[in-house]
């Protein structure tokens, strides 16, 4: 049994001072005391840095700001303040459901920069998208037919066809979308048909889009996908005699759940030793600049004006978020069992999508490890663990604050109430000030939609 | 590629009439039209039948109604109307979190019949439990110590020690609780210490309890667990010179996700063929009578009066619930891809706990299969499928209503909002009348706790 240890190879502004985990100048332990636990904390500074890294990559390659759109993938972490924050930074928004569309619009993001994805869009959401002038990334022929009918008299729809380039994405099958068996988009043959149908209707063909998957850590996948998309776009442009105004390469750039190749190896060995499923893509060596350069290079043969769109989510918000929980008790067991007030209901993605989260004791961050422990949740089933690994940690006591790192992406997406627990609060820390951006639920909130009927 | 077919071996009152799936005399298709989709439907009659089967088993064995408590495990499906319904049937309640405790009490269930479980209980919930006179199933020594302090001056706490008999439960590790590595309870050595400590304090030692796991399909597991519990209880009684008033054997009886051994084999082969994880326990041949007899037999050597407690959840509500969704579109693919307006956010347990759900086209239930399809959800990722299998189904069209069966247990527990989707409504059908027991969320509900802050 070889336990893992906390990694202190932290991304800025996360840092350790006086044995405590800080976000910039904000003490995470004080945040836990001020707002209670469990608590999601998002570093606005980290979010902003990630956005700037994308934007600067485009600028350095000489692409003016009218020629690219960074559309934040709302699905990664949807919150009204976060969306306003994204808007303020000039981001567009990739939305995948009616409510994401409404939230993006309500947050002031320009409809011209909203891209509406999804394989089962609702009719009323399509109507709203048409009305607002949102780009609709058409997933299938039924949707195309709907749009033709919905726009027969009235406003033109702005559409793009989601193509599936059938690449060999090496990410977890659950999050590989640009592969042959994906539920999304149309293969080139059907996409060609879609463009022909769209042309003979009142639809404004404005673009082509794809999405390869999530947590992709191999640049070759993006190269292959982009090349296929661009080649196909040129083929369609020639055949239909049109010029696409938007080429949308989707998102998918991975983040480093392990901050180095060496750390990744250590963590993977620990999963292996505990006979747990492989965690293949924990380290991502692709810089945002490399990624952007790959996309722009693939477009070098396109001679007309167009706007390059990307839809990053995880790589903007993933490493900006942490989850804070409190130790409720330490049980004598082998290893020691540390029960937290957070449960697997907030960490499910790590199981579902084979990810991994570093854990740090926020109030003992600088101390030497003394004991081997496992971290379990507060729900009613045995699989309710905060990490399936064993951890070598400083002496643990009730009241200690535990920070689970890199929790910004998809953990809110999958957050469930389990044993009727209250969904947690979220705080944004930005320029060393903290802001409550989501209130903690109450008992009344949890049962708010229940109707009391006597049967 | 050998697809599975719908099984029409349905538990009453589910039945097929005129090609439609009915719940008793209630047409499921009409319910979908009346309340919209996605929709959870719970058969109150099935719930009641399951309860009666337990109660009658006790009665047939000559155990009077004061001598047993069927404590419905709220975690399996928590809803205020459902809890009132349970109360009306004379059930007690097994609660695993503060909010479950409050909901059970608010639903009128007698505190004397509420059993409070959990490895990380909150202090204020413990205080409420003491105040109300709820039985506290003490999980660990820290909790025992807390109770000692909380009751120093004031009301006595009613306690039971949760022991872990370290059996060889053959269910999925995520839901095996009475095994050596479980996060719950105390092994016999520590439990003995707990009883000794409790005795020297102001705590009312009233019982002993255990919980072996969930979806257990092998009677021997219950035999082994019950024997170990009873032997240990007698040992403690003798040593401390006390008589337990309650022996609580927990829950865990499985249900049949496949209604026969042959069906189980077919389904398991289909999972194997698609290289998916094994689904070990899909058929449960243990009748509730066999289960109850096993427990009562194990107690035959106890000569004093006591109340036998069980905490069934899944075996009461699991096969009483279905999920209805609507076909949004059918995509040309191999196999045909049927996109529904329900997503994996409502079916996660099947992935997490390796279960399986039969699927029936509710408006074409009697028709011959014509096509092979796969059912996918409406969320943004590839793993968002309603079933990982391929299904041989009647001709599928937009608007068809699809019923996912045996969805009553733990699917609400894990229901998450995914792409900010509204959590669905729930309807109870009882004696051929339908009652809305949970309203569908709105866009406003989904973002209700978000605060709009300008950063």
Rounded to a whole number of angstroms, the distance from the CA of A408 to the nearest CA of chain B is 14
Q: What is the pLDDT of residue B257?
A: 98
Could you tell me if residue A185 is left (phi over 0), alpha (psi between -120 and 50 degrees) or otherwise beta? left
Catalytic: A299?
A: no
Contact at 8 Å (CB) between B282 and B270? no
Question: Quick check: B102 contacting A, CB < 8 Å?
Answer: yes
Per-residue pLDDT, averaged over A269-275, amounts to 93
Q: What is the pLDDT of residue B219?
A: 95
Q: Which alpha helices (H) appear in B133-187, and where do they start and end?
A: 141-150
Range B67-312 has CATH code 1.10.3720.10: no
Q: What is the pLDDT of residue A1?
A: 62
Q: pLDDT tens across A197-211, in order? A: 999 998 999 999 999
Nearest residue on chain B to A353, alpha-carbon basis: B383
- Tokens read off for A375: 């971290």
The string of DSSP codes covering B341-375 is S--GGGTHHHHHTT----EEETTSTTSPP-EEEEE
Report the C-alpha dihedral over residues B19, B20, B24, B25, rounded to 10 degrees: -90
Q: What is the largest CA-CA distance in chain A?
A: 73
Q: Name which of B24, B77, B381 to mutate to probe chain A: the one with the most chain A Cβ atoms within 10 A of its Cβ.
A: B381
How far apart are the C-alpha atoms of A342 and A321, rounded to whole Å? 15
Give the model's confidence band at A121: pLDDT under 50 very low, under 70 low, under 90 confident, else very high: very high
Q: pLDDT tens across A77-112, in order? A: 999 999 999 999 999 999 999 999 999 999 999 999
Indicate yes or no: CB of A413 within 8 angstroms of CB of B419: yes
Q: What is the pLDDT of residue B23?
A: 98
Contact partners, residue B33, CB within 8 Å, separation at least 6: none
Residue at token pair 């195309």: A144
Range A4-43+319-446 has CATH code 2.40.37.10: yes
| Strand partners for A416 | B416
CA B209 to chain centre: 18
Q: What is the pLDDT of residue A168?
A: 78
Question: Quick check: A108 contacting B, CB < 8 Å?
Answer: no
Contact at 8 Å (CB) between B374 and B391? yes
Could you tell me if residue B307 is left (phi over 0), alpha (psi between -120 and 50 degrees) or otherwise beta? beta
The residue extents of the domains of chain A are: 4-43+319-446, 67-255+284-312
Contact at 8 Å (CB) between B151 and B201? yes
Rounded to a whole number of angstroms, the distance from the CA of B11 to the nearest CA of chain A is 22
Q: If you ran DSSP here, which 8-state letter would residue A207 be given?
A: E
How far apart are the C-alpha atoms of A238 and B268, rounded to whole Å? 50
How far apart are the C-alpha atoms of B449 and A412, rounded to whole Å? 13
Indicate yes or no: CB of B382 within 8 angstroms of CB of A184: yes
Q: Tell me the pairing of strands A425-430 and A39-43.
A: parallel
Burial of A362-401, coded b for 16+ CB within 10 Å and e otherwise, reads: bbbbeeebeebbbbbbbbbbbbbbbbbbbbbbbebeeebb
Q: What is the pLDDT of residue B1?
A: 62
| Percent residues over pLDDT 70 in chain A | 100
Q: Name which of B99, B412, B430 to mutate to probe chain A: the one with the most chain A Cβ atoms within 10 A of its Cβ.
A: B99
Q: Which of B 243-272 lie inside 8 A of A, CB atoms?
A: none
Nearest residue on chain B to A183, alpha-carbon basis: B382
**Which is catalytic among the residues A284, A299, A380, A416?**
A380
Range A67-255+284-312 has CATH code 3.30.9.10: no
Rounded to a whole number of angstroms, the distance from the CA of A301 to the nearest CA of chain B is 31
The string of DSSP codes covering A343-370 is -GGGTHHHHHTT----EEETTSTTSPP-
How far apart are the C-alpha atoms of B41 and A134, rounded to whole Å? 36
Could you report the average pLDDT of every consecutive run of 10 residues in chain B (455 residues)?
92 98 98 98 98 98 97 98 98 98 98 98 97 98 96 91 88 78 93 96 95 94 96 98 98 97 97 92 97 98 97 98 98 95 94 94 96 97 94 98 98 97 98 98 98 94
pTM of the model: 0.97
Report chain B residues whose CB lies below 8 A from the CB of A419.
Answer: 74-75, 78, 96-97, 99-100, 118, 413
- H/E stretch holding B55: helix B44-60
Instruction: Using alpha carbons, select from B402, B408, B406 the residue that is nearest to residue B376.
Output: B402
Res A449 pLDDT > 90? yes
Nearest residue on chain A to B430, alpha-carbon basis: A455
Contact partners, residue B54, CB within 8 Å, separation at least 6: B70, B288, B292, B310, B312, B316
Q: Name which of B139, B449, B452, B454 to mutate to probe chain A: the one with the most chain A Cβ atoms within 10 A of its Cβ.
A: B449
| Percent residues over pLDDT 90 in chain A | 92
Per-residue pLDDT, averaged over A427-432, amounts to 97
Report chain B residues whose CB lies below 8 A from the CB of A340.
Answer: 120
Report chain B residues whose CB lies below 8 A from the CB of A383.
Answer: 172-175, 352-353
Question: Quick check: B390 contacting A, CB < 8 Å?
Answer: no
Q: pLDDT tens across A353-400, in order? A: 999 999 999 999 989 999 999 999 999 999 999 999 999 999 999 999
């Amino acid at each position: 049994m070889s336990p893992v240890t906390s990694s202190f190879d932290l991304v800025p502004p996360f840092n350790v001072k006086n044995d405590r985990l800080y976000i910039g100048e904000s003490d995470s332990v004080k945040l836990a005391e001020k707002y209670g636990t469990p608590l999601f904390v998002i570093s606005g500074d980290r979010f902003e840095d990630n956005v700037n890294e994308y934007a600067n990559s485009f600028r350095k390659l000489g692409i003016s700001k009218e020629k690219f759109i960074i559309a934040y993938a709302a699905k990664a972490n949807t919150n009204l303040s976060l969306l306003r924050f994204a808007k303020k930074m000039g981001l567009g928004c990739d939305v995948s459901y009616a409510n994401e569309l409404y939230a993006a619009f309500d947050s002031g993001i320009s409809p011209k920069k909203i891209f509406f994805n999804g394989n089962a869009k609702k009719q009323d959401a399509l109507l709203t998208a048409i009305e607002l002038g949102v780009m609709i990334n058409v997933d299938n022929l039924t949707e195309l037919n709907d749009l033709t009918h919905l726009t027969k008299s009235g406003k033109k729809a702005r559409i793009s066809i989601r193509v599936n380039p059938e690449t060999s994405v090496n990410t977890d099958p659950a999050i590989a979308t640009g592969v042959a068996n994906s539920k999304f988009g149309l293969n080139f043959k059907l996409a060609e048909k879609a463009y022909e149908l769209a042309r003979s209707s009142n639809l404004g063909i404005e673009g082509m889009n794809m999405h390869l998957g999530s947590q992709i850590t191999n640049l070759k996948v993006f190269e292959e996908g982009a090349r296929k998309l661009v080649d196909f776009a040129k083929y369609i442009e020639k055949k239909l005699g049109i010029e696409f105004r938007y080429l949308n390469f989707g998102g998918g750039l991975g983040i480093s759940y392990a901050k180095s190749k060496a750390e990744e190896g250590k963590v993977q060995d620990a999963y292996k030793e505990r006979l747990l499923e492989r965690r293949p893509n924990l380290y991502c060596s692709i810089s945002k600049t490399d990624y952007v350069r790959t996309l722009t290079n693939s477009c070098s043969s396109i001679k007309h004006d167009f706007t390059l769109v990307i839809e990053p989510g995880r790589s903007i918000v993933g490493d900006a978020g942490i989850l804070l929980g409190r130790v409720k008790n330490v049980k004598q067991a082998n290893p020691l069992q540390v029960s937290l007030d957070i449960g697997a209901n907030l960490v499910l993605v790590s199981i579902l999508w084979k990810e991994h989260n570093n854990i740090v004791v926020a109030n003992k961050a600088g101390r030497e490890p003394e004991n081997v422990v496992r971290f379990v949740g507060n729900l009613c089933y045995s699989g309710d663990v905060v990490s399936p690994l064993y951890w070598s940690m400083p002496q643990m006591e009730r009241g200690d604050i535990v920070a689970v790192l890199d929790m910004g992406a998809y953990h809110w997406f999958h957050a469930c109430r389990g044993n009727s627990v209250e969904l947690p609060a979220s705080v944004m820390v930005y320029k060393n000030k903290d802001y409550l951006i989501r209130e903690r639920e109450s008992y009344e909130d949890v049962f708010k939609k229940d109707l009391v009927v006597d049967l």
